[in-house]
Structure 1
Amino acid sequence: MKKILTLGAALVMTAASAATLTGAGASFPYPLYSKMFAEYKKATGDDVNYQSVGSGAGQKQILERTVDFAGSDNPMNDDSLKSAPGKLLHIPTAIGAVVPAYNVPGVDGRLNFTGKVLADIYLGKIRLWNDAQIAKINPGVKLPTLPITVARRSDGSGTTYVFADYLAKVSSEWKSKVGVANSLQWPVGIGGKGNDGVAGIVKSTPGSIGYVELVYAKQNKLTFGAVQNRAGKYIVADNGPAALAAQGVVIPADTRVSLTNSANADAYPIASFTYVIFYQDQKYGNRTEAQAKELRDLLSWMVSSGQQYNEPLDYAKLPANVAAKAKNIIKSINYGGKKL
């Protein structure tokens, strides 16, 4: 068993043996987790194998106890938690923004969107880019008479949940007809797997629009719109406006909370925590106490030293009060009732 020493912000491995932890779930934080886990291996020698399979699949795998942790952009609901074979815990690791990325030939600059316009596009009510509702909020922009191709997720997705959660708050029709879930009965659209799948559809399809996490829009060089927030301002997604979505929000002890449609006047309205989900009691299956400690150490690092990687990859860092709650949750991890 190896010994870990903390030197400033770094974890240094002092013995040869290294652990491998497995996780699966949300594609939303995958670019961040790829960087985090690469840096964590440099510091500790421990491998973290994270599969970007969507929040729905991640939640399923943690319920089946086939991974050490799940990644999800939406917290599991009470019914799902009750179905688990043990007590599941959530900790946020970052705040991300979901943006409407589009491919409209001949349109330079950034388009504005309201929640109602986005809902009506995804309800199939707005079908052309020069629709009067889009033209009204984009004065002076010459919009083409081009059909809108709607891109959306085909897999169980936390990004879908966040986008639908926002639409349900701003459109009563969306709330009643479609609702909020990881997987939806879509009125229209072409499905893509993962954020990268939706980004790929938008990139290759003139006239398309799709919702993706901010970093995927930037990595694919997609144009994305400004979205009107509750205060009536059109906000372009970035670390600052995403972080402001959590400002003033009461964070419950278990950290399960929605950040969409924030009342903060300068917040970006389609923002969310992304979560890691794991069992409080780590003694199950063939797990050892050493594995439990490895997971605890990883999670502790992610909400402390690991936060330095959030902003360079276009995710907002955890607010101090949220990081503190996450650390308290991690401290509650045990092994067969024994505190680690």
Structure 2
Amino acid sequence: MLTSSSDGIPVLESRSVVRRRFIMSLGVVAIIGAIALLLAGRGGNDRVEGSGSTALQPLIQRLSVDFQNARSGDEDWVSGSSGIDYEAVGSLGGVMRLADPEMDFAITDYPLSTSHLAQLGAVQFPLMIGGVSPVYNLGPAGANTPPLRFSAATLARLFSGAITHWSDPAIAADNPGVTLPDLPVKRVYRTDGSGTTFNFTRFLAERDAGWKGRFGAGTTVDWSKATGTGTGVKGSREMADSVAATAGAIGYLETGQARRAGLSIPLLRNDAGQFVVPTDANLRPDAYPLTATFYAVIKRDNASPADNARVLRFFAFLLDQGGGAARSLGYVALPASEISDVHAIWARDLGADHIRPGQTGN
């Protein structure tokens, strides 16, 4: 092969020399690639990785942007390196993914037991309060029907398949004077492990003995025990879309998501015998009877203390500065006393007494 010498005169190189230079070039490329991957991984580790509840996803998405913008003034901030990556896979799926060393936190719509937390080597603390609402679609036949009212017993019969038509006498008894369409009931339920399902079925199990004995309460239940027409979906988005597209459908959603989807939300009968609409002011156990508390679950031994610090700085931002965003999306922020309790948990169980309210940076 002809090449140029140092003085520009063409010379002939052997093929073995050319082969060695080619191999050396590949080695250099490989080293550069490895360094690039290492740097990319190091930058990726600055991001917070979480998964879990689909019900709290809208708030996590909104506040992750606000958090990154707030951190833009920090001296150590690098664009794209301090964000929150959150995957809405359902509460059960989020907890299961904590086994992944890259996963920093999970969010659930229900508290884990002490034994489960010990098994995971994790700590949990409350983040936000929300509601769970039945949602329904009476189609054109129910266009002029006022918001319906349901007792737990009626809801249990609707979701078990005992009630097959919207004109059923049990629904009429909850809604005196309301003209109900003679429309088949088509229930929609979650097939993934869902905290929303847990809270909804717990509400029914605590108030209806028939439901408790047949279905119980859980992140998943055996919907095959129900009769009539039913459709299984995964995630809150599929639930909202399915109910919206199906005349006669009834399902359940986090209250804020139900409002934003424009679905019909009924009043629920509370333990005092009052039918209550899930407004921000009523999302209390002594008023609206179907509330949910969202919890964060993080591992005690994340890869390094810096990992937990990054996670907790985000949650400090959510707790201390996320109230406005929470209200706009239909959630209710924790009272100040409970936020103080959360910071005490961080100091006691995670050695994070240096994370202060409102802190976003180091």
Structure 1-normalised TM-score?
0.82
Q: 1:30 aligns with which of 40, 51, 57?
A: 57
| Residues in 2 aligned to 1:308 and 1:145: alpha-carbon distance in whole angstroms | 42
Closer/same/farther in 2, CA of residues 35 and 149 from structure 1, 3 Å limit? same
Closer/same/farther in 2, CA of residues 176 and 21 from structure 1, 3 Å limit? same
Q: 1:222 aligns with which of 242, 246, 263?
A: 263
The amino acid that maps onto 2:243 is V
For 2:3, the equivalent position in structure 1 comes to none
Q: Secondary structure at the match of 1:76?
A: coil
Q: 1:141 aligns with which of 156, 170, 178?
A: 178
| Residues in 2 aligned to 1:96 and 1:311: alpha-carbon distance in whole angstroms | 10
| Residues in 1 aligned to 2:45 and 2:167: alpha-carbon distance in whole angstroms | 58
More helix as a share of residues: 2
Report whether the alignment pairs 1:315 with 2:331.
Answer: yes
- The alignment's C-alpha RMSD in Å is 2.1
1:294 Cα offset (Å): 1.1
The amino acid that maps onto 1:155 is D
For 1:9, the equivalent position in structure 2 comes to none
| Residues in 1 aligned to 2:245 and 2:84: alpha-carbon distance in whole angstroms | 33
For 2:289, the equivalent position in structure 1 comes to 269
Structure 2-normalised TM-score?
0.78
Gaps of 5+ in 2: 1-42, 73-81, 356-362
1:224 Cα offset (Å): 0.9
| Residues in 1 aligned to 2:45 and 2:177: alpha-carbon distance in whole angstroms | 60
Q: How far does the alpha carbon of each residue in 1:91-135 deviate from its partner, in whole angstroms, 9 at most, with x for none? A: 111111111110003222200000111111111111110000001
Closer/same/farther in 2, CA of residues 324 and 147 from structure 1, 3 Å limit? same
2:130, 2:254 within 8 Å by CA — same for their partners in 1?
A: yes
1:20-169 alignment runs, 5 A limit: 20-45=47-72, 46-84=82-120, 86=121, 88-105=122-139, 106-107=141-142, 108-169=145-206
Q: Secondary structure at the match of 1:142?
A: coil
For 1:254, the equivalent position in structure 2 comes to none
Report whether the alignment pairs 1:211 with 2:231.
Answer: no
Q: Secondary structure at the match of 1:304?
A: helix
For 2:304, the equivalent position in structure 1 comes to 288
Report whether the alignment pairs 1:235 with 2:273.
Answer: no
Q: How far does the alpha carbon of each residue in 1:247-274 deviate from its partner, in whole angstroms, 9 at most, with x for none? A: xxxxxxxxxxxxxxxxx2xx11110111
| Residues in 1 aligned to 2:181 and 2:231: alpha-carbon distance in whole angstroms | 21
Q: How far does the alpha carbon of each residue in 1:42-97 deviate from its partner, in whole angstroms, 9 at most, with x for none? A: 1014200111110010010114444100010011124422432x2x1111111111
Q: How far does the alpha carbon of each residue in 1:257-295 deviate from its partner, in whole angstroms, 9 at most, with x for none? A: xxxxxxx2xx1111011111112343xxxx233222211
1:209 Cα offset (Å): 0.3
Gaps of 5+ in 1: 1-15, 246-263
Q: 2:341 aligns with which of 325, 331, 335?
A: 325
| Residues in 1 aligned to 2:173 and 2:130: alpha-carbon distance in whole angstroms | 29
Report whether the alignment pairs 1:172 with 2:209.
Answer: yes
Q: Secondary structure at the match of 2:332?
A: coil
1:18, 1:47 within 8 Å by CA — same for their partners in 2?
A: no
Q: How far does the alpha carbon of each residue in 1:115-165 deviate from its partner, in whole angstroms, 9 at most, with x for none? A: 111111111111110000001111121111111000010100000000011
- Which structure would you say has the larger Rg? 2
Closer/same/farther in 2, CA of residues 201 and 185 from structure 1, 3 Å limit? same
Bigger drift between 273-282 and 116-125 goes to: 273-282
| Residues in 1 aligned to 2:247 and 2:165: alpha-carbon distance in whole angstroms | 12
1:333, 1:339 within 8 Å by CA — same for their partners in 2?
A: no
| Residues in 1 aligned to 2:335 and 2:237: alpha-carbon distance in whole angstroms | 28
**How many residues were matched structurally?**
297
Closer/same/farther in 2, CA of residues 202 and 168 from structure 1, 3 Å limit? same
Closer/same/farther in 2, CA of residues 95 and 334 from structure 1, 3 Å limit? closer
